Chain A
């Protein structure tokens, strides 16, 4: 070892690289618990919004993210809420996927109640938990829910419908 300074500098560098990304990521995902869906409805009262429910292990969900990101840029008025059904320990993974798809500035949430069945039921009593699950809500919060990947045509048409 040439000098302790090099070691210390190395350690400093190492700890920065470990600590900072993790720290930056943990503040951005809101914890979705019992009552959160109602909270969303209140927060977006009289506003249309899209709720896209996804999971870090769901390839079909991730495949649609670039398209969502693109549509959002073209239609900046769209309120996009992304909700990951993974447990809160996966926050870092979820955020890194969202960041990679330029969706980290959407309204991002993650399931944070062990009783996920109850969380799902509060969103939709008819939903069995398959993902992706996308809800389109108009300003009166009349909604349509679609399971599975949504095509570009359907997405564009639905977005137009809920805005008008």
Chain B
């Protein structure tokens, strides 16, 4: 083969391999569906915009009717890779700093990246939050800014695979890292805080009134029982032993792919909502606790079992509590919601608050400190911000 032929075939093959990479990126599902929204201290609604190769942030001063010019977070394009149990996260602290956590394909598929901004006009170079991000796959990362101005990250990490293999496999660990917020944020080495976690269900996180970080996760209990446990990380960095809080006895050697939600009110009441197909109960359930999660109220069934209810979120704002979840009838996906004005003791009837015939993200509840909103994104309608409140003709039952 002469040199010319060699060069030609090399170039051809290079072009081909380049196309194949591009082809794989093109096959990534539409990323714009995966968004997150939160209110800042000045009442502005901030929002993440995902695209196939970039993450941007914009804001609204009219409750989502119109949005500002987006500001791009990652200057170097890379394949953004979220899915419904792995969406990006957005937080704004009391000084108005904006924090973004998102997922992109890197050395591992769907690695989590963190970036922040003093005021939302320019973002720091994104960094990987896991100390082992280049070696071990991790996902379902969550972010929370606590009242002591620390940013916390937790995620599901497969790096302890060898350890779990001996026990029969299927579990993974939660890792955590936190740092003081500021103009420059340096993340220390991460630490394992929980093990025997069900690999595919998102863990929920909330801050207690005493400043502890509380996590509600689906654990793998002996006999492949996939029930939920709580775990507490105190402000001095100590991690509690986890304790079991749901007793539905869902035995499955598999992936439920359905994580719980947790909210802690200013009165210290814990509100949790979870999905199960257990021996003892099946469906979505809600319960509250007044003793920091040691004991919970009797589980209350949420949603109509015939409509595949799932993906529930809960949010407490003082004595007001809202629940929102998805239902599906084969064609239409609807978000239903119900409301309590007495801390979860009594509830309104469920109402349909939004619907779509297309793909949609999981419903999320957010607040501006005055009222509770549903933040929801669907392919046909796009982003929606819908106030969740008790309707006039609906009295507490």
Q: Which residues on A are within 8 Å of B, measured CB to CB?
A: 4-5, 8-9, 11-12, 15-16, 18-19, 22-23, 26, 55, 57-61, 63, 87-93, 114-118, 121, 125-126, 128-133, 147-149
Q: Assuming A15-B16, A57-B199, what are 7 further A-B pairs, CB within 8 angstroms?
A: A23-B20, A26-B20, A60-B255, A89-B25, A117-B328, A128-B310, A130-B254
Contacts of A60 in B (CB 8 A): 169-170, 253-255
**9 interchain pairs (CB within 8 A)?**
A12-B6, A12-B9, A15-B17, A63-B169, A89-B28, A114-B33, A115-B359, A128-B275, A147-B277
Cα distance, A132 to B16, chains bound together (Å): 35
Q: Give residues in B with beta carbon < 8 Å to A.
A: 3, 6-7, 9-10, 13-14, 16-17, 20-21, 23-25, 27-30, 33, 81, 83, 109, 139, 169-170, 199-200, 224, 251-258, 275, 277, 308, 310, 328, 330-331, 333, 358-359, 379
- B189 → chain A, closest Cβ, in Å? 25
Q: Which residues does chain B contribute within 8 Å of A121, judged by CB atoms? A: 308, 328, 330
State A89–B103 Cα separation when bound (angstroms).
Answer: 15
A19 lies within 8 A of B16 (CB): yes
Q: Which residues of B contact A63 (CB under 8 A)?
A: 169-170
Taking CB atoms, residues of chain B closer than 8 Å to A91 are 24, 27
Contacts A5-B3, A19-B16, A121-B328 known; A58 to B255 CB distance under 8 Å? yes
Bound together, the chains give a CA A128 to CA B7 distance in angstroms of 53
Residues from chain B with Cβ under 8 Å of A129 in the complex: 257-258
* Docked CA distance A38–B113 (Å): 41
Name A's interface SS.
Answer: helix
Asked if A115 contacts B358 (CB within 8 A), the reply is yes
Which residue of the partner chain A has the closest CB to B7? Answer: A8
Q: Which residues of A contact B252 (CB under 8 A)?
A: 130, 147-148
B17 touches A89 (CB 8 A): no
Closest Cβ neighbor of A111 among chain B residues? B29
The 8 closest A-B pairs by CB, nearest first: A15-B13, A149-B253, A148-B252, A89-B27, A19-B17, A148-B254, A114-B359, A18-B17
Contacts of A93 in B (CB 8 A): 109
CA distance A154 to B301 in the complex (A): 32
**A59 contacts B169, C-beta separation under 8 Å:** yes
A12 to B11, CA, bound (A): 8
Q: Is the CB of B17 within 8 A of A114?
A: no
The smallest C-beta distance from B380 to any residue of chain A, in angstroms, reads 11
CA distance A75 to B23 in the complex (A): 37
Contacts of A88 in B (CB 8 A): 27, 29
Whether B13 and A19, one on each chain, are in contact in the complex, defined by CB atoms closer than 8 angstroms, is: yes
A16 vs B9: C-alpha distance when bound (angstroms): 10
* B10-A130 in contact (CB<8A): no
- Assess whether B255 is in contact with A131, with CB atoms less than 8 Å apart: yes
Instruction: Provide the residues of chain A in CB contact with B359, threshold 8 Å.
Output: 114-117
A132 CA / B275 CA spacing, docked (Å): 17
Given contacts A12-B9, A57-B199, A60-B253, whether A130 and B28 have CB atoms under 8 Å apart is: no
Chain A residues contacting B277 (CB-CB under 8 Å) are 128, 130, 147
Contact B30 A8 (CB under 8 A): no
In the assembled complex, the Cα of A89 lies from the Cα of B3 at a distance in Å of 36
B330 contact set on A, CB distance < 8 A: 118, 121, 125
Q: Report B265 CB to chain A, min CB distance, Å.
A: 29
Check if B7 sits within 8 Å of A87, measured CB to CB.
Answer: no
Q: B258 contacts A15, CB within 8 Å?
A: no
Instruction: Pick the contact of A130: B29, B109, B258, B308 (CB < 8 A).
Output: B258
Given contacts A23-B20, A89-B27, contact A12 B109 (CB under 8 A): no
Known contacts A58-B200, A148-B254: A26-B10 contact under CB 8 Å = no
A37–chain B nearest beta-carbon distance, Å: 13
A89 to B358 CA separation, bound complex (whole angstroms): 20
